[in-house]
Amino acid sequence: MGKLSKVVRRDMALVLAFAAIFVLGCDDSKSLNTEYGAIFGTRGEDSLNGTKYFSEMFEAQGATVKRSSVISPKIDQYDTLVWFPDNDGVPSEEVVDRLNAWLDSGYERTLIYVAGGNHATEDYLRVAIEKAPMAQREEYLRRISEEIIGDENFDSRAWQNWLGGELATCDWYELTEKRMGKKKVVSGGILGEGKTYPEMELDFSYEITPRKKWQPEVLLKAGDEAFVYAMSDQAMQNNESELILVSQGSILLNYSLVEKDKQDLASALISRCEIGRGVLFLESGSDGIEVRQSAVSNHSNWSWIAQPPLCYIVPHVLLLGVLFCFVYFPIFGRPKRVKPESTSTFRSHINATAELLSRSNQPNRAINTIRDYQRAVASDANRNKSD
């Protein structure tokens, strides 16, 4: 826990610094970053409702954390999936079937699914309003009212199916139209024998009822209301895999993890996960998440280039090809190599001598010189023959 606390404290300082700037020096409430369920990016890392610090708690335990915005065959490479869906409904049948297949086909796999869209924004605003200047408190009250209205709208949308007007249900659970208000005293067997958090207060806007066929086991509850379940069917039990259903995602968000008690709850969940082959965080928007049968989104004839290891090799080959073209095919052509003239050619000596003789204006002298040369060459030839 020492290393974990150090990592969390370091990164929580960023959120607190951002919050302090917002409280003390910003009049525009829209500058507060409240994006839900994101890990990285300009709007994910410093968001009150982000999941960056929950992912770093996995990393502090030695896990490799990645993210994905689609469900593809790549999920089979990981032992643990974490999903904070950012929408008002339940997951589609296609998504549930794919994730069930993933749980059934592996060993010691864990899916942490956070149902609903519980935000930490209202909690932050209620704390920040006490420190805000009087001139800004009216704006804070307006923002708190917007959060309350947004939660109520979420409840009405989540309870109803837009097509048939029925309660929203999926193979894992159903949402029950029941507002329970605030509950205190968090406890559960996952925390250890007799361990409780009597001062932790959670606001329940609706009730989640797991399907009995999944044999739900209560891991955490607030008062008499369970909000974290461990679920598995017979195939998952044989593989020692499980689905962890969380109905209070606000305890795992960036701002919530500032509190030591909620860090303990998050650590207790992480301790149930196998992290040897890494952890994958799924990110989805209001339209849900896409299920792909292939890890490659583009199924053209060139899609093989985007798959490892070619996705790493091809760019280097292209770079070397460009350099080759610059070297061997320059724009103005390659420079020509001109052979230098020899300065010891005997023909040049004869030409120079003839030019000198022609300048003397004495033709007989030139003829006599040539004859003397011919006689000398002939005598040398005869001498060589006699030898």
Is there a single domain that holds both residue 252 and residue 359? no
Collect all residues with Cβ–Cβ distance below 8 Å to 254 and sequence separation of at least 6.
12, 15, 46, 47, 48, 49, 50, 51, 52, 53, 54, 120
CATH of the domain at 49: 3.40.50
Asked if 280 contacts 80 with a C-beta cutoff of 8 angstroms, the reply is yes
Is there a single domain that holds both residue 90 and residue 188? yes
Domain stop point among 291, 312, 329: 291
> Lowest mean pLDDT: which of 5-19, 134-148, 284-298, 359-373?
5-19
Largest Cα span, the chain: 137
Per residue in 348-364, pLDDT (tens digit) is: 777 887 787 778 777 78
Is there a single domain that holds both residue 260 and residue 352? no
Asked, for residue 130, whether it belongs to a domain, the answer is yes
Determine the average pLDDT of the residues in 230-247.
91
Is there a single domain that holds both residue 256 and residue 352? no
Asked if 106 contacts 241 with a C-beta cutoff of 8 angstroms, the reply is yes
Asked, for residue 335, whether it belongs to a domain, the answer is no
Question: Quick one: which H or E segment has residue 143?
Answer: helix 134-159
Per residue in 123-171, pLDDT (tens digit) is: 555 555 555 666 665 665 666 556 555 554 444 444 444 333 445 788 9
Domain stop point among 273, 291, 309: 291
Maximum mean pLDDT: which of 209-218, 280-289, 325-334: 209-218
Is there a single domain that holds both residue 47 and residue 186? yes
Asked, for residue 63, whether it belongs to a domain, the answer is yes
More confident residue, 102 or 365: 102
Asked, for residue 46, whether it belongs to a domain, the answer is yes
Q: Whole domain around residue 25: which residue ranges?
A: 2-291
- Which tokens hold the place of 257? 């993890």
3-state helix, strand, coil in the chain (%, to 5): 45, 20, 35
Asked, for residue 303, whether it belongs to a domain, the answer is no
CA–CA gap between residue 342 and residue 340 (Å, rounded): 7
Asked, for residue 305, whether it belongs to a domain, the answer is no
- Which tokens hold the place of 134? 């009087």
Is there a single domain that holds both residue 361 and residue 213? no
Domain total of the chain: 2
CA–CA gap between residue 312 and residue 268 (Å, rounded): 39
Structure confidence at residue 254 (pLDDT): 81
Is there a single domain that holds both residue 88 and residue 222? yes
Q: What is the pTM of this model?
A: 0.65
Is there a single domain that holds both residue 161 and residue 68? yes
Asked, for residue 200, whether it belongs to a domain, the answer is yes
Domain stop point among 223, 257, 291: 291
